[in-house]
Amino acid sequence: MEKSLLWIRKNWSTVIMIAVLILLWVNPDAKAWVMRQMISTGLFNSKIEEKTEESSLVPPNFSVKNENGEITETSQLRGKVVFINFWASWCPPCRAEFPSVQKLYDRYRSNENMVFLTVNLDDEIILGKKYLQKEKFSIPFLVPNSSIPKELYSGSLPTTVILDKTGKIRMHHSGMADYSKDSFYQEIEQLLKE
């Protein structure tokens, strides 16, 4: 016992590092916090593409359903900028970027020319709902109502896609990002003016 205490005293920094690593390994909120610090640097951010005739494509129609069973189809959203975010409650990178998604939503929720499709992909829908309630997020809770076109989502969480007013993909980003930066707001403003 005394040898163990002596070893701990000599190697206290190693013990702390191991404890932190265990915490990060088992706690999704701790992982999300670390990832949030990483995305705040701007290294993971994505950029909305400039409008060109040949570079953007219109993906196949995709529909989502809200908690009341109301269905929204992307083909019905022409004339609006559409922010689509695929996420799951168990996904630490999703948790890391969610505060920035909420800030973006808060800023543009009343803009009639912008629509948010925040699509939960949890196996058990209740887990996504509980996560939003626990964190007090007010983004729309939506689930897929049709198969998801591969042009929008290829299996990596989180994935964010932005469609311009013509329905063309102007941004497709797999992985976490910070959507609450002024530079991103400027890009959204430009899309809204097109």
**Parallel/antiparallel/unpaired status of strands 114-120 and 81-87:** parallel
More confident call, 147 vs 21: 147
pTM of the model: 0.79
The pair phi, psi for residue 93, each rounded to 5°, is -65, -35
| Euclidean distance between CA atoms 35 and 33, whole angstroms | 5
- Cβ within 8 Å of residue 50, ≥6 positions away: none
> Per the omega criterion (within 30 degrees of 0), is the bond before 158 cis?
yes
Beta bridge partners of 172: 161
Domains of the chain: 1-193 (3.40.30.10)
Instruction: Name the amino acid, one letter, at 179.
Output: Y
Rounded-to-integer distance, Cα 143 and Cα 100, Å: 20
Give the model's pLDDT for residue 50. 60
pLDDT > 60? residue 189 = yes
What is the pLDDT, as a whole number, of residue 2?
77
Place 22 in a pLDDT band, splitting at 50, 70 and 90. Answer: low
47 vs 189, more confident: 189
Backbone angles phi, psi at 179, to 5 degrees: -95, 15
* pLDDT tens-digit readout, 132-175: 999 999 999 999 999 999 999 999 999 999 999 999 999 999 99
**Mean pLDDT, range 80-91, rounded to an integer:** 97
pLDDT over 60 (residue 54): no
Q: Decide the pairing of beta strands 143-144 and 169-174.
A: unpaired
